[in-house]
Amino acid sequence: MNVTKYTQGVLQYIPFFYVIWSDDLLSYSEISVVKTAIQGDETLGKEDRDILKSWLNPNEPPKDQELKNWKKTITNSYIKLVESEVQPLTTFSKKLVCYYHIECPFNTHLKDIEINLGIQPNHYRHLFDLEVVQEIMAEHYEASTIDRILKGEHTDVVDAFREVLKNPIFEWDIRRTKEEFREHVLQQVKFLAKEGYGAMAYPEAYGGTENMPGYAAVFENLMYVDGSLAIKFGVQFGLFGGSIQKLGTQKHHDQYLADTGKTKLLGCFAMTETGHGSNVRGIKTTATYHKEKDSIIIHTPGQNDNKEYIGNALDSKMASVFAQLIVNGKNEGVHAILVPIRNEQHQLMPGVTIEDNGYKLGLNGVDNGKIWFHQVRVPRENLLNKYGDIDANGSYHSDIKNPNKRFFTMLGTLVGGRICVARAGLGGAKKALAIAVRHALKRRQFNDSIKIQEDLLMDYPTHQLRLTPAVASCYVYDITLTHMMKVYSDKSIVDKRKIETQAAGLKSIITWFANDTIQECREACGGKGYLIENQIADLKGDVDIFTTFEGDNHVLLLLAAKGILSEFKSEFNSAGFTAVLKLLGARLNDKLSTINPAYTNNVDKDHLYSSKFHKHAFDYRTRRLTYTLAMRIRDYVKKGIPSYQAFLKVQTHLLALGKAYSTELAYTTFTNFVDTIEDEKYQQLFQKMGTLYALHELRKDASWYLEQGYISGTKSKAIRSRVERLSTELRPHIKTLIDGYGIPEHCMSAPIAN
């Protein structure tokens, strides 16, 4: 057939037929997708439809001459192939028809073929032997709009902060020594204090706006500058200042809070001890009240009972020291006391010994150190006394009579730090992804011909699968953490135990996600990602520690799981426990009733993309793990095994529950937010990212769901396929999505990102 004799209806399908026949193998899925498009195309006449269907017969493939005619039709048009189009092959086909015919309306059925088959530019441009261009087309979505959706009510605060970060003091550079690095970071922190950001979360009377959610929002942006800056900023204003604000009373606020926010008083947060790690309740440092001199004596009893890894230790003049408070010979539990550690000349106070932790894997701009106290005396008024106090007569009293409840209430006030650490880790993941994606949109490698350009890394399905689910996950976690900080900061919520459980789990899964993502980005950039100048290496070193500070992730997941079981009494054979088990069992049976062959084998797209399915699956996993965990613990206790030992025997089960609960929480929080997005176009984009996140998470836990009979092998394969498909569908928008993070351009100085 001569090229000029192809009708308009047939001609528009030719590029697609040429692609799908290029490997001499027409698959069943390809036939089904194209047939569906042809059948639904009302613009086709009977003759055109018959011709197209005849080209879909695997037993009688098109003749070689027909293939040559197709290629000649394509190449003679001299149309450029634009990689950055939303649907490149569909747009190309429209231009082809316009070249040969006067009328060339856009056919949406072609778009369906391109999307459903996951066709990428590297699948066809070599076949056509065309000139390939990378024109920057008008995006279907605006990055600025996406960024504004993420910032929400904090838009003005975050935008103003990003302007401040344009100051030359925040320009990235390689610091050769830790001393030089530390001094530079200290000056950056002081600069931010001068701009009012140090006191941001404090009350107005002390220079702040009492905007903790806004503080958390700007905190993530510090990671775009440098991890050391984020952490030193957090230690000074969040941990040290936060302990004074949350654990102290007005006398402490009046004396210290304003100066802390201005960095006139530099302080550190001395909780963790070398020999006791995450076991805060088991710390050995003592704070003994001396009635005769109305003072408290701080003492380190053993060589390994020192405070360890204390940020700001070398710059500080004061420490918020956590110690066992002993009054009249009775241990009243862990309390915080303000202890001067240096004088105005920056000399160590008598009885205080501090050593530098030295070089670390990352965060070498933070002055971490070890602190020992030898009979250091401070005034009684230095006790941060919101939850426990010593009166003028030397008697201890607290409004919270139960020591355990008092301890956890005190720690619960500092949960904001865990949320901020998760935000910092998320910021590191976002920046690494932004660098890796930008690199993948420029870097070319391999093809099947030496005559034309190599393929873009981002066009490889494997590369899309490496990066795109992580890009989507960042959106889910961003929305979730914003919501968590808003709830945590709500003064009307007095009991913070639930948010403590949630923050513990989210901090764990998000910081692990951040580390995994940064490593994937490093590898995705090859040798370039290994260079310090491209900043992923620094992100890798800096974010690594996030999994173990502000609570070791494994310990926090155990805490989260125990929080889920908190309504169970300590004696697990009690009537109360039995009642809860029956309730859980009933709920579980309700879930199980829906698990039938039709459900476990359902691979329909609408079902797999349904948030109802995702929520059901996540909820089922959490409920099932909760119920079976409770049953195991009860059985151990029935055998006479102490509760503590029973928990030790089910630690891996506890970890699984903590992860499942946190994943469900993140997805549910995200979908609730997406329902509030008014612009339907952007709501659909966020829904697609939520779907990718959900299916990717279900895929990671596929073995568990298969073991439970919740999904079949066929459904597991379908989920995997849909993850790949969604990653491909988001390819045209990938640049917009990473720009939607809102990372300031002046913070993207890595050469491979420009």
Q: Name residue 257's amino acid.
A: L
Helix (H) or strand (E) holding 182: helix 178-194
**Which pLDDT belongs to residue 4?**
52
The first and second tokens of residue 169, run together, are 């003091």
Read off the pLDDT of each residue in 666-681 and give the average, rounded to a whole number: 97
Note whether 76 and 215 are same-domain residues. no
Phi then psi for residue 353, to 5 deg, are -120, 130
Note whether 380 and 421 are same-domain residues. no
CA dihedral 504, 509, 515, 517 (to 10 degrees): -150
Read off the pLDDT of each residue in 303-311 and give the average, rounded to a whole number: 95
Give the tens place of pLDDT for each residue, 111-139. 778 777 766 665 565 555 555 554 444 34
pLDDT value at 580 more than 70? no
Note whether 49 and 180 are same-domain residues. no
Top pLDDT among 452 and 619 is at 619
**Which pLDDT belongs to residue 571?**
35
**Which pLDDT belongs to residue 568?**
44
The band of 75, judged by pLDDT with boundaries at 50, 70 and 90, is confident
How far is residue 82's CA from residue 132's CA, in Å, rounded to a whole number? 6
Of 220, 242, 261, at which residue does a domain stop? 261
CATH of the domain at 318: 2.40.110.10
Read off the pLDDT of each residue in 287-310 and give the average, rounded to a whole number: 96
**Which pLDDT belongs to residue 572?**
43
In a domain, 239, yes or no: yes
**Which pLDDT belongs to residue 1?**
43
How far is residue 546's CA from residue 539's CA, in Å, rounded to a whole number? 11
Give the tens place of pLDDT for each residue, 81-115. 776 566 778 888 888 888 888 777 667 788 778 77
pLDDT value at 165 more than 90? yes
3-state secondary structure of 341: coil
Read off the pLDDT of each residue in 368-386 and give the average, rounded to a whole number: 97
Of 133, 157, 185, at which residue does a domain stop? 133
Note whether 195 and 340 are same-domain residues. no
Note whether 362 and 246 are same-domain residues. no
In a domain, 754, yes or no: no
pLDDT value at 576 more than 70? no
How far is residue 438's CA from residue 93's CA, in Å, rounded to a whole number? 28
Give the tens place of pLDDT for each residue, 523-547. 999 999 999 999 999 999 999 999 9
Note whether 158 and 120 are same-domain residues. no
The band of 586, judged by pLDDT with boundaries at 50, 70 and 90, is low
**Which pLDDT belongs to residue 450?**
54
In a domain, 747, yes or no: no
**Which pLDDT belongs to residue 138?**
37
Note whether 118 and 164 are same-domain residues. no
Check 273, 520, 550, 729 and give the catalytic one.
550
Contact 320, 240 (CB under 8 A): yes
Note whether 435 and 384 are same-domain residues. no
Q: What is the pTM of this model?
A: 0.82
In a domain, 29, yes or no: yes
**Which pLDDT belongs to residue 569?**
43
In a domain, 746, yes or no: no
CATH of the domain at 257: 1.10.540.10
Note whether 231 and 286 are same-domain residues. no
How far is residue 288's CA from residue 328's CA, in Å, rounded to a whole number? 9
Of 261, 288, 317, at which residue does a domain stop? 261
Give the tens place of pLDDT for each residue, 409-443. 888 777 899 999 999 999 999 999 999 999 999 88
**Which pLDDT belongs to residue 538?**
96
Q: Which of the residue ranges 90-94, 269-273, 558-562 would you say has the lowest mean pLDDT?
A: 90-94
The band of 495, judged by pLDDT with boundaries at 50, 70 and 90, is confident
Note whether 325 and 422 are same-domain residues. no
Top pLDDT among 587 and 454 is at 454
How far is residue 429's CA from residue 510's CA, in Å, rounded to a whole number? 10
Specify whether 550 is catalytic: yes
Q: Give whole-number Cα distances, 203 to 206, 253, 266, in Å.
A: 6, 9, 19
In a domain, 529, yes or no: yes
pLDDT value at 563 more than 60? yes
Whole-number percent of the chain with pLDDT over 90: 65
Q: Which of the residue ranges 1-5, 114-118, 350-354 would you say has the lowest mean pLDDT?
A: 1-5
Contact 714, 601 (CB under 8 A): yes
The first and second tokens of residue 250, run together, are 């007005």
Question: How high is the mean pLDDT of the chain?
Answer: 89
Give the tens place of pLDDT for each residue, 704-750. 999 999 999 999 999 998 999 899 889 989 999 999 999 999 999 99
**Which pLDDT belongs to residue 590?**
55
Largest CA distance in the chain: 109
Residue carrying structure tokens 């192939």: 81
Note whether 348 and 281 are same-domain residues. yes
In a domain, 349, yes or no: yes
How far is residue 131's CA from residue 151's CA, in Å, rounded to a whole number? 41
The first and second tokens of residue 700, run together, are 């990671």
pLDDT value at 449 more than 70? no
The first and second tokens of residue 676, run together, are 């509030």
How far is residue 581's CA from residue 601's CA, in Å, rounded to a whole number? 30
Helical spans, DSSP H, in 525-608: 536-544, 553-564, 575-592, 597-600, 605-608
CATH of the domain at 422: 1.20.140.10
The band of 588, judged by pLDDT with boundaries at 50, 70 and 90, is low
Phi then psi for residue 397, to 5 deg, are -150, 155
pLDDT value at 5 more than 80? no
Whole-number percent of the chain with pLDDT over 70: 90
Burial class (CB in 10 A: 0-12, 13-18, 19+), 358: exposed
The band of 42, judged by pLDDT with boundaries at 50, 70 and 90, is confident
Contact 627, 666 (CB under 8 A): no
Range of the domain at 333: 267-413
In a domain, 251, yes or no: yes
Read off the pLDDT of each residue in 168-176 and give the average, rounded to a whole number: 91
**Which pLDDT belongs to residue 327?**
97
How far is residue 479's CA from residue 753's CA, in Å, rounded to a whole number? 25
Closest CA to 406 of 386, 421, 379, 378: 386
Length of the chain: 754
Q: How many separate domains does the chain show?
A: 4
Note whether 549 and 665 are same-domain residues. yes
Q: How many helices (H) and strands (E) does the chain have?
A: 32, 13
